[in-house]
Amino acid sequence: MKPEHFPDDIRPHLIPKPEGDLVYRCLECGAEYDISQLLYTCPKCKGLFMLEDKAADRLKKHPGAFWRRLFDYRKMLNIPALKGIHLFYELITPIIPLSDIIYLGEGHTPQVAANDDLRAEVGAPFYFKNDGQNPSASFKDRGMAAALSYLNFLVRQPGAGRMLAICASTGDTSAAAALYSSYLGERVASAVILPHGKVTPQQLAQPLGSGARVLEIPGVFDDCMKVVEALADNYQVALLNSKNSWRIRGQESYAFEIAQWFDYDLAQKSVVVPIGNAGNITAIMQGFLRLHDLNIIDTLPRILGVQSRHADPVFRYYLEPDQAKRVFVPVTVQPSVAQAAMIGNPVSMPRVIRLVQEYHRRAGAGSVAVVQVSEQEIMDSMLLANRHGHIACTQGGESLAGFRVALQEGLLGPEDTAVLDATAHHLKFIGFQQMYFEDSFPPEFEVTPKPEYQNRPQLLKPKTEDPAQKTADLAGQIAALLQLTLKGK
Ligand SMILES: *Cc1c(COP(=O)(O)O)cnc(C)c1O
Ligand SMILES: [Zn+2]
């Protein structure tokens, strides 16, 4: 729709202008820093940052109803910069001019309802929100759209020069970082550091295809993270890991979209999300809290975090009911099919701890919970979902497995509707499905395939060499196998 055709009260706000006062706020000592510098942790105390809009009160001048109307109308506007996560511009990167915003088709991913059969099997209504339908096929694109728009803004300042963007990754961060950096061309080069042999062939192919420099090191993700941190501490590089608070901002869009999907009524709703480095659950909680601050939503949805038994430090932390007695202890991970969440020392843990406290304060104890699932449950749940029209990856399977556990334990009830995060596209993690079908999981995964979920191709050989007979012979074999009935009988 053309801007002149929008209602009079919406038109002046439709195309936003840069405003606001963003700073990095240290979560530990409270110090604030100018965003004109590339900073990831507090120079004084090494604490993590959140981005804070010091002029956020200007947004409160409008009632919640105004923002709901504006965001809903903006969906009809055909300006690329506002088509993706920046539809919610005022809540994401309000200081960046629209001309610096990068849009590669991220965000507004479909929310697909479980059909009657699947709902009956699981015992409650739910949706998968398919973040695998983002451009690099995972939710990481949301954060990269924000972080690279910011870098684009920085490198376009006079005298800025070239920049090297770097990240460690369990696979999907590097795919997203490489994709968005490649869009910026010469001005931003990218390098990714991956744990050798611990990412899927698809995830390795993605940054290679985008032209990034790909460096592999022995070990697991946590080892890569240490190397990248040493680089960021000592050299001029832009770090694109979860420490990067711009990424968290972009990922908040997942919460905004869920609110918009339900017409901003989140009573009796819950959101289920796998936890790895804990950036995503941080962003989702923060996103809902900020909508609540602005009266855009009245009710906070419940949040359910899910971890595999093979990488469960956040689950273990919350096992202790007494907040004062909780101590965070990193774990050594074991192989997990939810490989993108196979992290023993989540970077965003300090953010999670604070946000859970705030969430509990506003929405009551039990409004955020973390459950643990087995590798077997993850695989079975993924296959169950995908046999009912979904495209869940192993982490999406982890969401469904966690949802089922929460229903069994009474943490969630069948009167609630859940939105399950399918964090990546099924095809990125297809090797695990293959191992299930072929029963070739190494024993440490502890997965025993269930025959009803296994599937494999069946090779048919024609019983004749005569080219004239071959087609009829194969058609006959197939008709017999599928027990087809002859026409007219
Ligand atoms: C990164 C990732 C996760 C884990 O998200 P965190 O923000 O690290 O907790 C889960 N699933 C997929 C597919 C991912 O790429
Ligand atoms: Zn500090």
Ligand nearest to the Cα of 31, by number: 2
Would you say residue 235 has pLDDT above 90? no
pLDDT digits (tens, 9 = 90+) for 273-286: 999 999 999 999 99
Per-residue confidence (pLDDT) for residue 105, from 0 to 100: 98
Q: What integer pLDDT is reported at residue 353 of this predicted model?
A: 97
> CA 140, CA 142: separation in Å to the nearest integer?
5
**Is the pLDDT confidence value at 232 over 90?**
no
Structure tokens at 90: 């005022």
| Residue 289 scores a pLDDT above 90 | yes
Those residues whose beta carbon sits under 5 angstroms from the ion ligand 2 are 26, 28-29, 31, 42, 44-45, 47
pLDDT in tens, 314-345: 999 999 999 999 999 999 999 999 999 999 99
> What domains are defined for the chain?
111-135+253-451 (3.40.50.1100), 139-251 (3.40.50.1100)
Q: In the prediction, which pLDDT does 158 show?
A: 85
Burial of 226 (0-12, 13-18, 19+ CB in 10 A): middle
CA of 340 to the centre of ligand 1 (A): 5
pLDDT for residue 186: 85
Nearest to 398 by CA among 324, 327, 307: 307
CA nearest ligand 1 atom 8, residue: 277
pLDDT number for residue 31: 97
Contact 56, 19 (CB under 8 A): no
The alpha carbon of 396 and the centre of ligand 1 are apart by a number of angstroms equal to: 10
Report the percent of the chain where pLDDT is more than 70: 100
Give the pLDDT band (50/70/90) at residue 52.
Answer: very high
Closest CA to 7 of 90, 87, 73: 73
Provide mean pLDDT across the span 162-189.
91
Fill in the DSSP letter of residue 114. -
Ligand 1 pocket check for 200: Cβ under 6 Å? no
Confidence of residue 203 (pLDDT cuts 50, 70, 90): confident
Would you state the pLDDT for residue 454? Answer: 97
Atom 2 (ligand 1) nearest CA: 340
Looking at residue 93, its pLDDT comes to: 94
pLDDT tier at 181 (50, 70, 90 boundaries)?
Answer: very high
Average pLDDT over residues 461-475: 93
pLDDT for 65 equals 98
Q: Judge if the beta carbon of residue 423 lies within 6 A of ligand 1.
A: yes
**In the predicted model, what is the mean pLDDT of residues 124-130?**
98
Q: Over the stretch 437-460, which tens digit does the pLDDT of each residue have?
A: 999 999 999 999 999 999 999 999
CB atoms within 10 A of CB 347: 23
* Lookup: tokens for 389: 């029209």
Tell which atom from ligand 1 comes closest to the C-alpha of 131.
13
Q: Are 147 and 240 in contact (CB under 8 A)?
A: yes
pLDDT band at residue 489, thresholds of 50, 70 and 90? confident
Query: Is the pLDDT score of 170 beyond 80?
Result: no
Residue 141: the pLDDT is: 98
Kindly state the average pLDDT of the residues 286-292: 98
Residue-level pLDDT at 311: 97
- In whole angstroms, what is the distance from residue 198 CA to residue 218 CA? 9
At 209 the pLDDT is: 96
How much is the pLDDT for 242? Answer: 81
Query: Is the pLDDT reported for residue 468 higher than 80?
Result: yes
Pocket test for ligand 1, best of 172, 245, 282, 314 (most atoms within 8 A of CB): 172
Mean pLDDT estimate for the chain: 95
Lowest mean pLDDT among 73-87, 189-203, 285-299: 189-203
pLDDT value of position 160: 81
* 298, two tokens: 């009245």
84-93 tens-digit pLDDT? 999 999 999 9
The string of DSSP letters for 13-82 reads HHS------EEEEETTT--EEETTS--SB-TTT--BEEEEETTTHHHHTS-HHHHHHHHHHHTT---GGG
Average pLDDT value for residue range 397-417: 96
Name which of 334, 335, 302 is nearest 403 in CA terms.
302
Place of tokens 């507004």: 108
The answer to whether the CB of 42 is under 6 A from ligand 1 is no
Q: Whole-angstrom Cα distance, residue 393 to residue 425?
A: 5
Position with higher pLDDT, 223 vs 454: 454
Ligand 2 centre and the CA of 45: distance in Å? 4
User: What pLDDT was estimated at residue 255?
Assistant: 98
